[in-house]
Amino acid sequence: MLMKYRNLHLVLMAALGMAATAGAQDTKPNVVLMVMDNLGWGEIGCYGGGILRGAPTPRLDQLASEGMRLLNFNVEPQCTPSRSALMSGRHPIRSGTTRVVWGLPYGLVGWEKTMPELFSEAGYSTGMFGKWHLGDIEGRFPTDQGFDEWYGVANTTDEAEYTVQLGFDPEVVSPPQIQQAVKGGKPESVKEYNLETRRTIDGDLTDKAIDYMTRQTKAKKPFFLYLPFTQPHLPSLVHPDFEGKSGNGRWADLLTEIDHRAGQVLDAIDDLEIRDNTIVIWMSENGPEEAPEWFGTAGYWRGHYFTALEGSLRTPCLVRWPGKVPSGTITDEIVHITDLLPTFSGLAGYEVPSDRIIDGVDQLPLLTGKTDKSAREGFPVYNGDDMFAYKWRNFKIHFIQQDSMFGQPVRHNFPRVHNLLRDPKEISGLSGGGKETGAENLTWVLPAITKRVVAFQKTLQEEPPIQLGTPEPYVPAN
């Protein structure tokens, strides 16, 4: 009889062990998405910056060694378009979010299906701590668009300078605020966003993000943490704790703080013992600033944001997922910011919307090493409502040239084609060769890319774009 019960006990233990193993395998991974604001490709060590910019970035360099470093990660030329593309998986021309505006109703309409909404539908907790810049009216705040909780600024860090600018009138423009909200509630102001709180906000965002991860881990709930920092967007003012820390000036101090904030989040993930089940993405959503007092660098590439140059489009992106993303890997395959939404679907278990055009593609096979090829060959480059360029394989066609955010766009009579392997600075290249030094005859690229441009423009006829300033509620005509 004892033997019988002992055998039964062993069977039950084995069954429980199998169930525990199955449960562990079915556990959804946490997703931590850290986003820098206007940090150029050439700033941190693993992209050629670091000590060459006055400050080593050991934590970010270590993160790169623990996962994949993307050399050809592409974003949009302005803040609102990039964040729109990230949240919706759609090119901003479709969403009416093609440019940064001031004082107008703007942002993602409620009809758009956002990344946090999809994570929520898949059983995730969703938290955001940082800059939104996708709408500041009822129906368009982060907690209206899928986030369970939010702390940060609705618009952009430019506003931190408002109250010290000549003639500022608080009766006409309300002093900008740092706000907080929960899903279903209205945002409430926490404190004024000014030059003093601009210095400390990224520290506050980090603390709140760590508290959020701690709460969700304790509740045993998978979470999507969106942490869009405000640095190094102008005014690029460092936290007082990092003032003078590098010994190499304000910008190097700022890089030291940026590296430290990432390290705080990574340490918290380790302390919570969730490293193996957490995918971490650290990236920038725009190329560097060009404003004289605050300018950054795109390193190997040329240009700043508000242009269609590689320095505007390519930004750093690091991905770590232990046991899934091979450590120490590098890829130069094209990945676009719209790709994150469909890529996350494969690991979170949500369905990509099928009732609208989604421009992003699933890049999980590339990230996990199942293939060494991207799921895309290129993408259109809009700057505002005009297609400035089209990037395809190692080539780029410029239809409209703008070399500086302060310059006037020039429409070419004949498109310029650049071989980005030979001409990474995009300074040579009449399409048919010519007198310019280094120009190649690349006219064969014209029909290849034109075919793709026409196909994309056809989709804008099939699904007409949402117009800037569209009020709520929006319902598509088709």
CATH 3.30.1120.10 spans which residues of the chain? 379-462
- Concatenating the DSSP letter of every residue in 302-354 gives ---TTSSSHHHHB--EEEE-TTTSPTTEEE-S-EEGGGHHHHHHHHH-PPPPS
pLDDT category of residue 22 using cuts at 50, 70 and 90:
very low
Calpha distance 473→174 (Å, rounded): 26
pLDDT category of residue 19 using cuts at 50, 70 and 90:
very low
Report pLDDT digits (tens) over 169-211. Answer: 999 999 999 999 999 999 999 999 999 999 999 999 999 999 9
pLDDT category of residue 103 using cuts at 50, 70 and 90:
confident
Choose, from 79, 239, 260, 317, the residue flagged as catalytic: 79
Calpha distance 156→464 (Å, rounded): 28
The answer to whether 46 is a known catalytic residue is no
Q: How confident is the model at residue 431, as a pLDDT? A: 44
CATH number of 28-163+171-378: 3.40.720.10
Which among 413, 304, 364 is positioned nearest to 68, based on CA atoms? 364
Looking at the predicted structure, is the pLDDT value of residue 258 above 50?
yes
From residue 196, how far is each of 36, 165, 176 by CA, in Å? 20, 14, 13
Q: What percent of the chain has pLDDT over 70?
A: 92
* pTM of the complete model: 0.93
Report pLDDT digits (tens) over 216-230. Answer: 999 999 999 999 999
Looking at the predicted structure, is the pLDDT value of residue 430 above 80?
no
CATH 3.40.720.10 spans which residues of the chain? 28-163+171-378
Which among 365, 311, 366, 359 is positioned nearest to 334, based on CA atoms? 366
Calpha distance 468→472 (Å, rounded): 12
Q: How confident is the model at residue 477, as a pLDDT? A: 82
CATH number of 379-462: 3.30.1120.10
- The predicted model gives 86-98 an average pLDDT of 98
φ, ψ of residue 25 to 5 degrees: the values are -70, -30
Looking at the predicted structure, is the pLDDT value of residue 17 above 80?
no
Before 232, cis peptide (omega within 30)?
yes
3-class DSSP state of 153: strand
Residues 329 and 68: beta-carbon distance below 8 Å: yes
- The predicted model gives 435-455 an average pLDDT of 84
Relative to beta strand 223-228, strand 125-131 is parallel
Q: Which two tokens stand for residue 455?
A: 């196909």
Q: What percent of the chain has pLDDT over 90?
A: 87
pLDDT category of residue 274 using cuts at 50, 70 and 90:
very high
Report pLDDT digits (tens) over 141-178. Answer: 999 999 999 999 999 999 999 999 999 999 999 999 99
16 burial via Cβ count (<10 Å: 0-12, 13-18, 19+): exposed
Tokens 């508290």 map to which residue? 211
Q: How confident is the model at residue 293, as a pLDDT? A: 87
141 burial via Cβ count (<10 Å: 0-12, 13-18, 19+): buried
Choose, from 91, 133, 239, 398, the residue flagged as catalytic: 133
Ramachandran category for residue 289: left, alpha or beta (phi over 0 → left; psi -120 to 50 → alpha): beta
Calpha distance 282→259 (Å, rounded): 11
Which among 319, 317, 311 is positioned nearest to 337, based on CA atoms? 317
Helices (H) and strands (E) in the chain, counts: 11, 16
Q: Which distant-in-sequence residues (6+ apart) come within 8 Å of 19 by Cβ?
A: none
Calpha distance 153→149 (Å, rounded): 13
Residues 208 and 129: beta-carbon distance below 8 Å: yes
- Cα 148–Cα 150–Cα 151 angle in degrees, nearest 5: 160
Relative to beta strand 68-70, strand 317-320 is antiparallel
pLDDT category of residue 25 using cuts at 50, 70 and 90:
very low
Report pLDDT digits (tens) over 28-44. Answer: 999 999 999 999 999 99
- Cα 90–Cα 182–Cα 76 angle in degrees, nearest 5: 25
Instruction: Count the helix, strand and coil residues of the chain and give each as a percent rounded to the nearest 5.
Output: 35, 20, 45
The answer to whether 133 is a known catalytic residue is yes
Which is higher by pLDDT, 102 or 423?
423
Around 422, how many Cα atoms within 13 Å sit in the side-chain half-sphere? 12
- Count, residues in the chain: 478
3-class DSSP state of 277: helix
- The predicted model gives 354-380 an average pLDDT of 98
Which is higher by pLDDT, 18 or 249?
249
- The predicted model gives 66-87 an average pLDDT of 98
Q: Which two tokens stand for residue 239?
A: 């936290």
Which among 143, 222, 241 is positioned nearest to 185, based on CA atoms? 143
Calpha distance 330→367 (Å, rounded): 10
Q: Which distant-in-sequence residues (6+ apart) come within 8 Å of 419 by Cβ?
A: 394, 395, 429, 440, 442
φ, ψ of residue 398 to 5 degrees: the values are -100, 120
pLDDT category of residue 26 using cuts at 50, 70 and 90:
low
Looking at the predicted structure, is the pLDDT value of residue 426 above 70?
yes
- The predicted model gives 52-80 an average pLDDT of 98
Of 97-106, 222-231, 308-317, 417-426, which range is least confident? Answer: 97-106
Of 54-58, 283-287, 330-334, 406-410, which range is least confident? Answer: 406-410
